Chains A and B, each alone.
Chain A
Amino acid sequence: MTAAIELNAVEKRFGNVGIIRDLNLSVAQGERHAIIGPNGAGKSTTFNLISGHIRPSSGEVRLNGDVISGLGPFEINRRGLSRSFQVTNVFSRMSVWENVRCAVLWATGHRYAFWKNVDSLPEVRERTSQILDDIHLTHRRDVPAGLLTYAEQRELEIGITIAGGANVVLLDEPTAGMSHAETDRAVALIRRLTEGKTLVIVEHDMSVVFGLADRISVLVYGHIIASGTPEEIRRDPKVKEAYLGEEAH
């Protein structure tokens, strides 16, 4: 079976500075994969490379076997990859309902339609309310997204990410800045919503990582130094030295 995501010798340089060096990564279909590493290791850059936000200087990125490096973010999204952002990135002047509904529209095939009434598309309406239910924001549906609490915005961020029904989901620090109770809720939410999908997650909270991930990759200075099951990573001396040692969570 082809891997859901495959990075082959990906490099990213800004000027002379190599942010990502010889990055190789393979995420199997249906796997829940966590990328960990110290601050500035290039985790978000890796997400930006995969999702088409920036282009690799060299190397290739494959999604379900097809090369996607060089495509625009929307083209990659249409092929079934969706991502969330570390800094909340929603449509702040639109209501919660509108936020989720916009994320549903392309996937339900309505695209740039200007001849359909958006309020009378049953499948759009059902899917939107389903997702609002899933992320527990039904009671806040008419509130402009910019006025939500921080935790609510993070949940909306996840809702927008999964609304298009993408099979490969990239979540960038979904629980950053949350309290313990909120984190538990978010983890349960992520687990439920990504059932049967491929999940790649960047996370600092080790309890989240070890509780959620099937496999873990450790990124240090733009290079993956270890990749394996949570048990293997826990035991890996290189990881202990390079990462867990200096920044224990």
Chain B
Amino acid sequence: MNATTTSASNISGKSAGDSLRFYGVWLVGIATLILLPMIFSSGGSLTSFSLIGIAIVFALSYNILLGQTGLLSFGHAVHYGLGGFAACHVMNAVVSHGWPVPLPFIPLFGGLGGLAFAMIIGWVMTKRAGTVFSMISLGIAELVASSSLILRSVFGGESGISTDRTALPKMFGWTFGPQIQVYYLIAFWLVISAIAMYALTRTPLGRISNAVRDNPERVQFIGYDPHVVRYIAFCFAGFFAGVAGGLAAINFEIANAAYLGAIQSGLVLFSTFIGGVAFFFGPILGAILVTYLQLGLTSVTGVWQLYFGIIFIGIVMLSPGGIAGLIMMHRPLARAGTLQTVIPSYVVAAVPTLALACGVILTIESIARTHSGQSSPINLFGVAFTPASPMTWASAAILIVVGFFVARLSWRRVADAWDRAATIARDRGYLA
């Protein structure tokens, strides 16, 4: 999973070591998925793992658009949601008609639901790329979300469409009642989808999608219609988003209007971008992090969404390559053996940066808690602060001001250390 989507290095002379490492990464990933519930077997962690698995499939499907084809969609949840509804309806139909379709095949129907809508609406939507596509995607998302409340017979109105996953025909004696069985079902589809989406990046279509992303004008002069390329990529993204929606429908045994709403579309954009769009594994990291934060922060703070917004703005402004971009930035240094010269400056810079972050958190929590009438103390690394007390305000102000200036200084030193390390790496031929 290390191969980048932008440059493929080992084309003709793929060494045995490279391909071993390549398959090794995938095998380790699969082994992790199998072993995770054996190590963390509580109901809470099983639920979290299931949600993370769904989020990964969804984020990877989104990156077919954003990272591979350069299409920034604000309405990707439409396909996710329609996939969820399709899955629910198929499950209910299977039960009422007694069709011999076991549960593990249901996500496929979710995918077909997402694909069908992508095929219908995609041709018009992908006529144009760039900002226009983004705006249209938002409009279509609003259209579908609003329509879903009108077409009650299909979408079940406010309450949604519910279903019973255990009523379907059994497979291998599994009822899919217990969460652990659902988790393995999700893990199975995660592996299948991830392999399929990775393989897609290594096909002629995948490569041409990259070309369309970089330079749609030039693509026309090497024989390709960028509109067709965008359309096919859009359909694939719709299909896998539908698979994710189908998995969600199985997991929650319900599909409702929230599935295809703006918040869901925003979350997948956040996950993918924070993780990093330029690398295949970026959205995986992003989905893990965002889902984990979402689950973890809700119990700690009432304004977790604000923190999301701030993290997202920070990534956009400071590291548009996302977490994956940050990690991969260091690969040439590691290869050239100069990484250790940078690390001390990171450690130094981390202290004031953390102080700054603590100051911001104190401020936000103080405001949030006083405005919502809570007076529970803010617990920061074992230190309890009373919201909006003079002591808290003073600490926050000092942390922010001092943290900001010291952080600025120390990050400048990081940049210097980086330049030195990169120069050596370049001399040694590890950096273009």
A adjacent to B, CB under 8 Å: yes
Measured CB to CB, the residues of A under 8 A from B are 51-52, 72-74, 77-78, 82-83, 85, 89-95, 97-98, 101-103, 105-107, 110-119, 121, 125, 129, 142-144, 147, 160-161, 163-164
Q: For B236, what are the chain A residues with a Cβ–Cβ distance below 8 Å?
A: 114
**CB proximity of A97 to chain B, nearest CB, Å:** 6
- Is there a chain A Cβ closer than 8 Å to B41's Cβ? no
Q: Do A125 and B208 touch across chains, with their CB atoms under 8 A apart?
A: no
Given contacts A102-B208, A103-B222, A119-B202, 17 further A-B contacts (CB under 8 A): A72-B220, A74-B220, A74-B223, A82-B221, A82-B222, A92-B214, A93-B213, A93-B214, A97-B11, A98-B8, A102-B219, A112-B232, A114-B200, A114-B236, A129-B12, A144-B6, A164-B223
With both chains docked as a complex, state the minimum distance between the C-beta of B120 and any C-beta of chain A, in angstroms. 19
B282 close to chain A: CB less than 8 A: no
B432 within 8 A of A: yes
- Do the beta carbons of A119 and B218 come within 8 Å of each other? no
B7 partner residues in chain A, CB cutoff 8 A: 94-95, 98, 142, 144
- Taking a contact as CB atoms under 8 Å apart, the answer to whether A101 and B207 are in contact is yes
Taking the closest CB of chain B, its distance from the CB of A191, in whole angstroms, is: 22
Q: A105 and B6 in contact (CB under 8 A), knowing A73-B221, A74-B225, A77-B220?
A: no
Assembly CA distance A85 to B220 (angstroms):
13
Minimum C-beta distance from A142 to chain B (A): 5
Interface size class of B (residues with CB under 8 A): 35 or more
> Which residues on the A side are within 8 Å of B291 (C-beta)?
none
Majority DSSP secondary structure for residues of B touching A: helix
Task: List, in ascending order, chain B residues with CB within 8 A of A91's CB.
Answer: 210-211, 214-215, 218
Q: Say yes or no: is B224 at the interface (Cβ < 8 Å to chain A).
A: yes
- Closest A residue to B278 by beta carbon equals A93
The closest CB in chain B to the CB of A99 belongs to B211
Contacting pair A144 B432 (CB below 8 A): yes
Residues on A with C-beta less than 8 A from B432 are: 142-144, 147
Residues of A within 8 A of B207 (CB): 98, 101-102, 105, 118
Are A105 and B221 CB-contacts (below 8 A) given A94-B214, A95-B8?
A: no
Q: Which residues of A contact B215 (CB under 8 A)?
A: 89-92
Q: Which 8 A-B pairs have the closest CB atoms?
A: A106-B223, A73-B220, A95-B7, A91-B214, A114-B205, A110-B204, A103-B222, A113-B204
Q: Do B222 and A112 touch (CB < 8 A)? A: no
With both chains docked as a complex, state the minimum distance between the C-beta of A75 and any C-beta of chain B, in angstroms. 8
* Chain B residue, CB-CB nearest to A129: B12
Interface residues of B in 204-255 (CB under 8 A from A): 204-208, 210-211, 213-215, 217-225, 228-229, 232, 236
Point out residues on B near A: beta carbons under 8 Å.
6-9, 11-12, 14, 199-200, 202-208, 210-211, 213-215, 217-225, 228-229, 232, 236, 278, 432
Q: How near does chain A come to B63, taking the closest CB pair, in angstroms?
A: 15
Which of A52, A98, A115 meets B210, CB within 8 Å? A98
Contact: B210 with A113, CB < 8 Å? no
- Do A102 and B222 touch across chains, with their CB atoms under 8 A apart? yes
Chain B residues within an 8 Å CB radius of A72: 220, 225
A102 → chain B closest CB, angstroms: 5
- B224 vs chain A, min Cβ distance (A): 6
